Structures are given as C-alpha cells and as structure tokens.
A and B are shown apart, each in its own frame.
Chain A
Amino acid sequence: MFGLDLSFINWDILQKFVVGGFIFSVQLTVVATLGGIFFGTLLALMRLSGKAALMGPAAFYVNGMRSVPLVMVILWFYLLIPFLIGKPIGAELSAIITFIAFEAAYFSEIMRAGIQSIPRGQVFAGQAMGMTYAQNMRLIILPQAFRNMLPVLLTQTIILFQDTSLVYAIGAYDLLKGFTNAGKIYGRTEEAYLMAAVVYFVICFALSWSVKRLQAKIAIVR
C-alpha cells in the first residue's frame, strides 16, 4: 500500500530493537515524573515561602528552564555534567538527570497552582491546631493540592512521555531510536517511523482517555 511494506516487522525484530528502547522511555518517564514532582514541590514551596532568599532563586530557575527549548537543555546537561564531574557520562544517565531537572520547573508551576487552590482557611485551621509549617504542609495542604492537580499532573506526564523522544539529540536509546535502528538495518526507514507513530499514538491516546475518565470521576466526588 502506498509503496510501503510493513511486513518486515515481526516479533523477533520488535524484541531485538524496540523493547529495550521502550523500557528506557518508560523508565525515563516514571523517574522524571517522580523526581520532577518531588523537586517541583520543593521549588513551589520556595516560591510561596514569602522569603526573598528562597523566592528569587526558585523563580529564576523555573522561569529560566521554561524559556529554553528542551532540546537545548538536553544538550546543555550533556555538555556540562562531564565538564563538572570530570569524566564522561552515558547519554541515558544524562537524559534522566536532564529530564528530572527540566520537568521540576513545569511540575513546580502545577504544584504552585495546586497549593494556591487550597483556601487560606485550611492553613489557618492547621495553625490553630498548633501544627508546625511542615506538619501543616505535609498533612493538610499538600495532599489536597496533589489531589486537585492529579489530572493536570498526569497530562504533564503524557507530554513528558512524548518529549522523551527528544533524547534523539544526544543519541540515547529510547523507543523512537529502537524503531529508527530497526528501519535502518532492514532498509525500511519510512515504515519504521510510521510504526513508531502508531505505537506512540496508541499509548498516548489510551493514557489521555484514562485521564479524562479519572477527571470525570473526581469531579463527581466533589
């Protein structure tokens, strides 16, 4: 059909080229999501702390990261990490560090909105109960903020999964690279890209559909 021949793809080829890349893409997504949410929450707390010494650097970091293309950030880290630690570092490890640092900026904006969506009365109630700042945040504010923002956090994770394909810039072996390599070796580049598109589409479509379902469910509970 259309001069394309998809018949070269079989289970052996998928296993040999694609599965490893797929596992790395998923690993990168999961680690960057968890790390990004952790550091993003810290950044959000810094920006909402009211202390200039914390707010300034956090705002600088978040706005800086958000005004630069992800590809450039990937290249920056790949250049800077070996320069700072004095020895070369693999593309895969470099990608993981980059994505945690980059996504922290985006997740911090989501968490900041989440924390601000909690009525001030909740904070006052916690304080009236004699809770410390840390207790108040950990037990009262953050669980609610996290819950309110869950659909947005998950949507960001889907975007993150799509963005993992950009590790192409430093040659890390991800899902897309798996298809690209298989296509090159069997002389079927176009078919391989098409298959990659289908796989990404199925995964992302299924995920965003589930997020929509989840959103509807949460909306009813409230």
Chain B
Amino acid sequence: MTWDWQIFLTDDGSGRTYLEWMLEAWRWTLAVAGSSWLVAMGVGAVVGTARTLQDRPVLVKLANAWVELFRNIPLLVQIFLWYFVVPKIIPAFQQVPGFVLVVFGLGFFTSARIAEQFRAGIQALPKGQRYAAMAMGFSTWQTYRYVLLPMAFRIILPPLTSESMNLLKNSSVAFAVSIAELTMFAMQAQEETSRGIEIYLAVTALYAMSAFAVNRVFAFIELKMRVPGFVAASTGGGH
C-alpha cells in the first residue's frame, strides 16, 4: 500500500479540511475528559472520604453503595442510561445537552474508582495520625482537612495518575452517543475517505500524546507537593 497523508488537507465537504475536523474533535475529547475529571475528582473525594467516617455508619453504607453501583455497570451502558433513560424518567433533563449527560456518565463512573483510591489512601495512614488530631482537640472536619486528606492525597497520586489517564482513554466511549470527539471522527472519516490507516494513526497518536501529557502533569504535581522525608508508599496501580 502507499501512504496518502494528503488526505488531511482535503476538504471534507463542509468547507473544512480533515485536519481541522480532527483538531476540533481533539478539543471535544479534551473537553469531555477535562469536565468529567472535575466531576470525578469532586464526587470521588467526597464519597471516598465518607467511606472512612467511623462514627457515621449510614453515610459509610451509602458511600459504599455508590461505589458498587457505578463500578459494576459497564461505562457504555452507563452512558446510554444517562443519554436515553435519565431524560425519559426525569423530564427536567430533556433540556440538558448531550455533552453534559456524557460528562455525568463518565464522571460518576470514574468517581467510584477515585473514591476507592481515596478510601485506600486514608486507611493506609497510621491510626496514630487520627488519634493525634483528636488529642489536639480537632473536630472531624479539621482532622480530615489538616491531617488526613493532605497526606492521603499524596499517597494516592500514582494511582490517581493512571486513573486520570484511564479517564482520558475512556472518553472515547462518548462516540456511542454521537459526541463529535476523536473516536467519532476516526470512524466517520475512515468511512468517508477509505484512508483508515492514516486517520487511525493520527488519532492514536493524539490519544497517546494526551495520555502522556496527563502523566507529565501529575509527575510535576507529585514533585511540587512532595513532603521532604516522606516517601509515599505505592498503593498499587489503577485500571
């Protein structure tokens, strides 16, 4: 076979080149992944912390149920639920754009995994840390805010890194509900141009680059937030 990279400079029939379309799709991928990451981190941190509250058994049960619910249904099915079923059950969601529904789906799915990491991180801390905070007269909120969470966060940075990379890769599932992101572009452009290998190579490279960028950003955060003399114990990888 011969390469035909010119394909990226040809018009796709709507006045833009395939290259422009692909970069637009890349922005959609980053937008879906970025927004979902905010949802996943926010919800994941709260739910994961709730699972470690020793004097609130009801909250612990609820948080555990949250994790089990969102972890045991495939992402694609969850996206379909948000996109098709939720607007049908709750009419208020009919006005919500598809992008936001996908962000909920991907964000909540990932929040279950991040909650699991927060729980593991908090429980990996020596019990003495909690007791020390209690002895200082800290309230529960203060114990978590000033003692437990800052250390737990540093411990779970490595698995958080791989989970964030997973989130970026999982954003590809949004193609199933017609979000104009990279995988959607790959499928449509492949069909229109029959230059699938060139298109797939470019899209794959963009995914790999984005995942690598996420990896570097987290490595930078890890370096900046390192506590001198404290070596974070690895708590095992993600996925």
* Chain A residues near B (Cβ < 8 Å): 2-4, 64, 67-72, 75-76, 79-80, 83, 106, 109, 156, 159, 162-163, 165-166, 168-169, 176, 189-190, 193-194, 196-197, 200-201, 204-205, 208
Q: Is the interface of B mostly helix, strand, loop or mixed?
A: helix
Chain B residues numbered 87-106 whose CB sits less than 8 Å from any CB in chain A: 88-89
List, sorted by A's number, 23 A–B pairs whose CB atoms are closer than 8 Å: A4-B88, A64-B208, A68-B207, A69-B170, A69-B172, A69-B207, A70-B169, A72-B183, A72-B186, A75-B183, A75-B187, A79-B197, A79-B200, A80-B197, A162-B74, A165-B74, A193-B77, A193-B84, A194-B85, A197-B77, A197-B81, A200-B72, A201-B72
Chain B residues numbered 201-239 whose CB sits less than 8 Å from any CB in chain A: 203-204, 207-208, 211-212, 237, 239
Chain B residues numbered 4-56 whose CB sits less than 8 Å from any CB in chain A: none
Q: How far is the CA of A68 from the CA of B186 in the complex (A)?
A: 13
What 6 pairs across the A-B complex have the smallest Cβ distances?
A: A69-B172, A204-B72, A162-B74, A69-B169, A2-B89, A165-B74
Give which listed residue, A67, A72, A83, A196, contacts B203 with CB less than 8 A.
A72
Q: How far is the CA of A172 from the CA of B211 in the complex (A)?
A: 28
Residue-wise interface mask of B (61-86) relative to A, using a CB-CB cutoff of 8 A (1 in contact, 0 not): 00000001101111111101100110
Contact status A190-B207, CB under 8 Å? no
Measured CB to CB, the nearest residue on chain B to A110 is: B237
Contact status A190-B74, CB under 8 Å? no
Question: What residues of chain A lie closer than 8 Å to B187, measured between beta carbons?
Answer: 75, 169
Q: B190 near A: Cβ within 8 Å?
A: yes
Q: B60 near A: Cβ within 8 Å?
A: no
Contact status B212-A190, CB under 8 Å? no
Q: How far is the CA of A64 from the CA of B239 in the complex (A)?
A: 16
* Chain B residues near A (Cβ < 8 Å): 1, 68-69, 71-78, 80-81, 84-85, 88-89, 165, 169-173, 175-176, 183, 186-187, 190, 196-197, 200, 203-204, 207-208, 211-212, 237, 239
Q: How far is the CA of A64 from the CA of B237 in the complex (A)?
A: 17
Question: What residues of chain A lie closer than 8 Å to B208, measured between beta carbons?
Answer: 64, 67-68
Given that A79-B196, A162-B74 are contacting pairs, would A193 and B81 also be in contact in the complex, using a CB cutoff of 8 Å?
yes
Question: What residues of chain B lie closer than 8 Å to A68, measured between beta carbons?
Answer: 169, 204, 207-208
Most A C-beta atoms less than 10 A away, residue of B88, B197, B203: B88
Measured CB to CB, the nearest residue on chain B to A156 is: B239
Report the minimal beta-carbon distance from A3 to chain B, rounded to whole angstroms.
6
Contact status B175-A71, CB under 8 Å? yes
Question: What residues of chain B lie closer than 8 Å to A2, measured between beta carbons?
Answer: 88-89
Question: What residues of chain B lie closer than 8 Å to A190, measured between beta carbons?
Answer: 84-85, 88
Contact status B186-A200, CB under 8 Å? no
Measured CB to CB, the nearest residue on chain B to A2 is: B89
Give which listed residue, A72, A162, A194, A208, contacts B207 with CB less than 8 A.
A72
Contact status A3-B88, CB under 8 Å? yes
Question: What residues of chain A lie closer than 8 Å to B196, measured between beta carbons?
Answer: 79
Contact status A169-B85, CB under 8 Å? no
Question: What residues of chain B lie closer than 8 Å to A80, measured between beta carbons?
Answer: 197
Q: How far is the CA of A200 from the CA of B74 in the complex (A)?
A: 7
Report the minimal beta-carbon distance from B177 to chain A, rounded to whole angstroms.
11
Q: How far is the CA of A163 from the CA of B75 in the complex (A)?
A: 8
Given that A79-B200, A165-B74, A197-B78 are contacting pairs, would A71 and B173 also be in contact in the complex, using a CB cutoff of 8 Å?
yes
Given that A193-B81, A205-B72 are contacting pairs, would A72 and B89 also be in contact in the complex, using a CB cutoff of 8 Å?
no
Question: What residues of chain A lie closer than 8 Å to B212, measured between beta carbons?
Answer: 67
Contact status A176-B77, CB under 8 Å? yes
Given that A3-B88, A75-B186, A75-B200 are contacting pairs, would A166 and B81 also be in contact in the complex, using a CB cutoff of 8 Å?
no
Given that A72-B183, A79-B196, A193-B85 are contacting pairs, would A163 and B203 also be in contact in the complex, using a CB cutoff of 8 Å?
no
Contact status B183-A69, CB under 8 Å? yes
Report the minimal beta-carbon distance from B175 to chain A, rounded to whole angstroms.
7
Report the minimal beta-carbon distance from B105 to chain A, rounded to whole angstroms.
12
Q: How far is the CA of A165 from the CA of B204 in the complex (A)?
A: 21
Question: What residues of chain A lie closer than 8 Å to B74, measured between beta carbons?
Answer: 162-163, 165-166, 176, 200
Question: What residues of chain A lie closer than 8 Å to B72, measured between beta carbons?
Answer: 162, 200-201, 204-205, 208
Q: How far is the CA of A26 from the CA of B191 in the complex (A)?
A: 30
Q: How far is the CA of A4 from the CA of B197 in the complex (A)?
A: 43
